[in-house]
A = this chain, B = another copy of it.
């Protein structure tokens, strides 16, 4: 979203990016230039992104900085994913925050693994040198009072209270506990310890990333760049995506659920979704808004499942919608496979279920390319299934209007 004219070769850097700081290019400070650093560096940059392992379910909103991280990986750089296990294991010492419940190291490890597993479709886990996963307890548990005092002394109360979040709470006389001032410093110290060149985060992370720059400078290191990404609106198109508002799409959702939510993406935010959640060229999107929605849904389901699954989900969803017209939301007709003797040819089932008037019509429909099983076109006229389990739960379809659920 930068308005600066940049080389096409850096499109991956600017796509969907809210802000890079120090700004690019910065004539006041020509030395600090991320573009130059990316172009000239003779080593992979170290690009930091932190994970809070207190929760387990992540949604598309969380995925945005990871998609940018992947873009850095693809450009040859090293993603350094920081698992914030130290804080999670301490929890909130005031015991007042449900969000900061104290977790055991096993819980944290399990959460972190779960989190990383969900990132598999996004990040490059396999190319050597492209991914480093670090637990910040590695260095934070070693900090003593002298070092912590040194960290604290780099900032004033006024600077800390100017931070978004703190400022309002202080003004409204809502208590801010002193240990809360540690969190930005701990996050910043992570940058010192892993020698981050760039830190990614949502726009709400600007303060913390800037603290990282200050601390790196304090410890005689080169300060990182901050790259901020927008906070994603939810599928309602109005509020920040969040589980509690039920306007989210979880990365672990099944293809049909994911598709169904995304194909209703409001027009007002669909361009942002394309920009932030896909790599499709934004100037080649369909003109028809409905086609746009479908393309978005297909594309994102494909990322997290497969193209095949996406197409099936699309079909199923469309069929479900069509049947809504009949007044019955659950009106997909079912056919009970227990009447079928296995192994069975598909054309036989087309006949037996009533989708076709005869086995012969079934064969002709398959030959004509009109038959799909869970959205996938069947081209083998003699396709045979060995048992009920191969078909149970799938949707069998002839042409655009006739379908049945096999149970």
Contact = CB atoms under 8 A, between A and B. Distances in A.
A177 B148 contact: no
A174 to B, nearest CB: 9
A155 interface: yes
Contact of A177 (B143, B144, B152, B166): B152
Interface in A91-112: 92-94
Given A152-B179, A153-B94, A153-B178, A158 B173 contact: yes
Contacts of A160: 178
B158 A178 contact: no
Interface string A183-207: 0001000000000000000000000
A269 interface: no
A177 B150 contact: no
A149 B95 CA distance: 12
Interface string A164-182: 0010001001011111011
Interface-central residue, A143, A153, A158, A182, by most chain B CB under 10 Å? A153
Interface in A129-150: 140-146, 148-150
B161 A177 contact: no
A284 interface: no
A285 to B, nearest CB: 49
A145 B141 contact: yes
A150 B86 contact: no
Contacts of A182: 145, 148-149, 152
Contact of A178 (B86, B140, B152): B152
Interface of A is mostly: helix
Nearest to A218: B93
A166 to B, nearest CB: 8
Contact of A143 (B94, B144, B154): B144
B181 A152 contact: yes
Contacts of A93: 149-150, 152-154
A32 B249 CA distance: 57
Interface residues of A, number: 35
A258 to B, nearest CB: 39
A91 to B, nearest CB: 10
A3 interface: no
A178 B157 contact: yes
Contact of A144 (B92, B144, B150): B144
Nearest to A185: B178
Interface-central residue, A143, A145, A149, by most chain B CB under 10 Å? A145
A157 B158 contact: no
A339 interface: no
Contacts of A148: 145, 148, 182
A90 to B, nearest CB: 5
Contact of A145 (B86, B150, B166, B181): B86
A177 B94 CA distance: 23
A161 B173 CA distance: 12
A156 interface: yes
Contacts of A141: 144-146
Nearest to A173: B158
Contact of A156 (B152, B153, B175, B186): B175
Q: Closest 7 interchain pairs by CB?
A: A93-B153, A152-B179, A152-B178, A153-B179, A156-B175, A157-B176, A143-B145
Interface of A: 86, 90, 92-94, 140-146, 148-150, 152-158, 160-161, 166, 170, 173, 175-179, 181-182, 186
Given A145-B148, A150-B179, A154-B178, 20 more contacts: A90-B146, A90-B149, A93-B154, A94-B153, A141-B144, A143-B144, A143-B145, A144-B144, A152-B177, A152-B182, A153-B177, A153-B179, A156-B175, A157-B157, A157-B161, A157-B178, A158-B170, A158-B176, A160-B178, A181-B181
